[in-house]
Structure 1
Amino acid sequence: MQPGDRHRWMDALRGAAVLLVALWHAFEIPYPTVPAGIEWASNFLSVYRIPLLMFLSGLLLDQSLSKPAPAYVEGKLRRIAWPLLVWSAVLVLVAWPTARPSDVWFWLGDGAHLWYLGVLLACYAVGYLTKWIHPVVVLVGGLIAMESVHSDIAFVNNTLWFGLYFFAGATMSRWLERWLRLGPIIPVLCLVAASAWGAYSATVNGYVPIAHWRPFALSILGVVGVVWFATRLRRARWLEWVGQRSIVFYVAHVPFIWITALLIAGVVPAAVTYAVALVVTLAGCFLLARYLNGTLLFEFPRIRMRRGAVDGREPVPGEAAPLR
């Protein structure tokens, strides 16, 4: 993919994956016991949900690396580290049960849904190495580390596991166009294999096991199969809209669900709590995405740099710094 390319199907897939995460949390957070059928479906979808989000980010790694180093670092700090910090503080304010402000790992997302942003930061930090080495080298090294390292720190384990999908995406970006030119047989087989594994594991194990190369291999087959089909489906503009604002939906949905649960859980039937939590969450996230996307809640203001710091040359006297 060339820098500046925008694939609408990526936005749609990102939007779908974020909404699936929110849907699951709307059932999981208000009550400790989730209806068996819904829990099974969520466990099945764990083959696709977060792996797809990480894979899509990895697909765009080369595009990010096409920027100068200062712009690359600035972008990740503004758009990932900043909302991670802000919404970790929000969790403290709403008395999220596992909020531990004295624990440094909490500020990297441990103990909450924000772990995804912490892992994404780590992946982009390591991903800078792919300016000089092929991402498949990092992927293989990650597989070895994932099989070998068993930490008591959730951030480490999550990075080793879900980081594999990020670097699988970065690797696949080099061959994406070739993959998308294939006929349907191989993508269908990939989806069948991944879905069969997800169904089996959801039935036998519950949540799909991690920290092993076989579940990763089967899951990644499903992810690339979904990508193949997504490029051939009709446009879903509303999903694209959500995907373009996925950071808003991702970071904000849990506080909305939690506050709703605090107010009505135990007062009304569980089914009503689930429905109200989902409606309030989607409506709240929509309003934030519609009116506050790009504000300090989700993005730190752009830092103006001297042109020499951005493109590697000294600024011309009297020349204005570029607006990027």
Structure 2
Amino acid sequence: MRQQWMDGMRGLAIVAVVLFHAELVGGPLIWLSEVNQELAHYRMPLLMGLSGLLLARSLAKGPRRHLSGKARAVLWPYVVWASLDLTQVCLHLLATGEPLPPDLSRLALYNPSGYLWFLAFLFCYHVLATPLPAWARSIAAPTLLLLGATIGSSDLHRFVTLAGWFLVGDLLGRVVGPRVPGVVTDLVGRFRWGFLATIGRQSVVYYACHLIVMVYAVRLVHRLGVTEPRLVVPVAVVVPLAVGALLVRLRRHRWADALFVWPRVDSTAVTERIGASVPEEVPALAQRQC
């Protein structure tokens, strides 16, 4: 059975990401800026740590099944939504008469200033962790965190540091998880996570679609003459979450499910999509990193 607290915490991290981008796209709000500054230390490490908690269980299926599963549920949505993201950016630039990015071919492979880098990192971590025995992953977790602290602010710093948090999650799942007293797990299980757990169960859907939806929702609101951040930011938060919920419901159809997991021709394609989750900036206005 899925553990509600994991889904709830993952959903909380996804909402934190949405709030961060809502400030970038919808406009600055003092209170939201303060909230985002506090959450900046936790949102992506939390997502990576939660992903790492399930690493050992996935590796127990064998290297081939482990990697094929991550290619279907992590790499595939990255490819799909990165392609959609880059396409809509190019169309927007052409419509406004602006030149296309000179490094378009590189951005088609990986866009570090975009928002989908989390999925790319997560897939890389699964690939790199596959051949490592448990003891090596345990040693690598604190080592990578210490190494990341010595690297200046850069993509390499982010990659190394989050790799450390991913393996910290793995370490906690293997060492601490089995030793947690039953009374504690029962107490945690009684907490009602509500819509946060709902988001967390399908976090890949909300993460993959939220920023593209947000940008176009805000553009529409601006065209209607509404530019006050106090009115725009709620739209930037509610609309992507609502569209994400709609896409979750539409995943019963193969065309919608194929946006988030590699499509299969057999009858198991729809049932397997239920377990897919992550963890987890298009125009110039949103060209900043989580």
Deviation at 1:24, TM superposition (A): 2.3
Partner of 1:212: none
Secondary structure of 1:173's aligned partner: helix
Q: Determine whether 1:296 maps to 2:290.
A: no
Percent identical among aligned pairs is 25
Secondary structure of 1:234's aligned partner: coil
Q: What amino acid is the match of 2:258?
A: L
CA distance in 2, matches of 1:132, 1:146: 21
Partner of 2:243: 284
Indicate if the aligned counterparts of 1:109 and 1:116 stay in contact, CA closer than 8 A.
no
Identify which of 127, 131, 141 aligns with 1:129: 131
Deviation at 1:144, TM superposition (A): 4.5
Q: Determine whether 1:177 maps to 2:161.
A: no
Partner of 2:3: 7
Q: What amino acid is the match of 2:203?
A: S
Partner of 2:96: none
More displaced stretch, 246-255 vs 92-101: 92-101
Distance 1:141 1:103, change over 3 A: farther
Map Cα deviations across residues 46-80 of structure 1 (whole Å, 9 max, x no partner).
22211111111111100110112221111111111
CA distance in 1, matches of 2:5, 2:160: 27
Which structure would you say has the larger RCO, counting Cα contacts within 8 Å and 6 or more residues apart? 2
Secondary structure of 2:26's aligned partner: coil
Distance 1:260 1:20, change over 3 A: same
Distance 1:47 1:82, change over 3 A: same
Deviation at 1:88, TM superposition (A): 0.8
Partner of 2:287: none
CA distance in 1, matches of 2:4, 2:129: 24
Partner of 2:215: 258
Q: Determine whether 1:75 maps to 2:62.
A: no
Partner of 1:20: 16
Structure 1 gaps of 5+ residues are 185-227, 305-322
Identify which of 189, 197, 204 aligns with 1:240: 197
Deviation at 1:118, TM superposition (A): 1.2
Deviation at 1:172, TM superposition (A): 1.1
Distance 1:61 1:89, change over 3 A: same
Distance 1:175 1:256, change over 3 A: same
Q: What amino acid is the match of 1:128?
A: T
Secondary structure of 1:62's aligned partner: helix
Indicate if the aligned counterparts of 1:109 and 1:117 stay in contact, CA closer than 8 A.
no
Q: Identify the structure with the greater helix proportion.
A: 2
CA distance in 2, matches of 1:303, 1:169: 34
Indicate if the aligned counterparts of 2:81 and 2:209 stay in contact, CA closer than 8 A.
yes
Secondary structure of 2:174's aligned partner: coil
Q: What amino acid is the match of 2:206?
A: F
Map Cα deviations across residues 181-214 of structure 1 (whole Å, 9 max, x no partner).
4999xxxxxxxxxxxxxxxxxxxxxxxxxxxxxx
CA distance in 2, matches of 1:49, 1:175: 23
Map Cα deviations across residues 81-122 of structure 1 (whole Å, 9 max, x no partner).
111111111112322889957243563341111111111112
Partner of 1:221: none
Distance 1:129 1:230, change over 3 A: farther
* RMSD over aligned Cα atoms: 3.1
More displaced stretch, 265-274 vs 140-149: 140-149
Q: What amino acid is the match of 1:127?
A: A
Query: What TM-score, normalized to structure 2?
Result: 0.77
Map Cα deviations across residues 203-251 of structure 1 (whole Å, 9 max, x no partner).
xxxxxxxxxxxxxxxxxxxxxxxxx899255232432221110000001
Q: What amino acid is the match of 1:241?
A: T
Partner of 2:112: 110
More displaced stretch, 249-258 vs 288-297: 288-297
Indicate if the aligned counterparts of 2:25 and 2:236 stay in contact, CA closer than 8 A.
no
Q: What amino acid is the match of 1:50?
A: M
Aligned length, in residue pairs: 255
Structure 2 gaps of 5+ residues are 94-99, 273-290
CA distance in 2, matches of 1:70, 1:60: 16
Indicate if the aligned counterparts of 2:45 and 2:162 stay in contact, CA closer than 8 A.
yes
Q: Determine whether 1:89 maps to 2:46.
A: no
Partner of 1:193: none
CA distance in 2, matches of 1:270, 1:151: 30
Q: What amino acid is the match of 2:29?
A: P
Q: Determine whether 1:46 maps to 2:48.
A: no
CA distance in 1, matches of 2:55, 2:21: 28
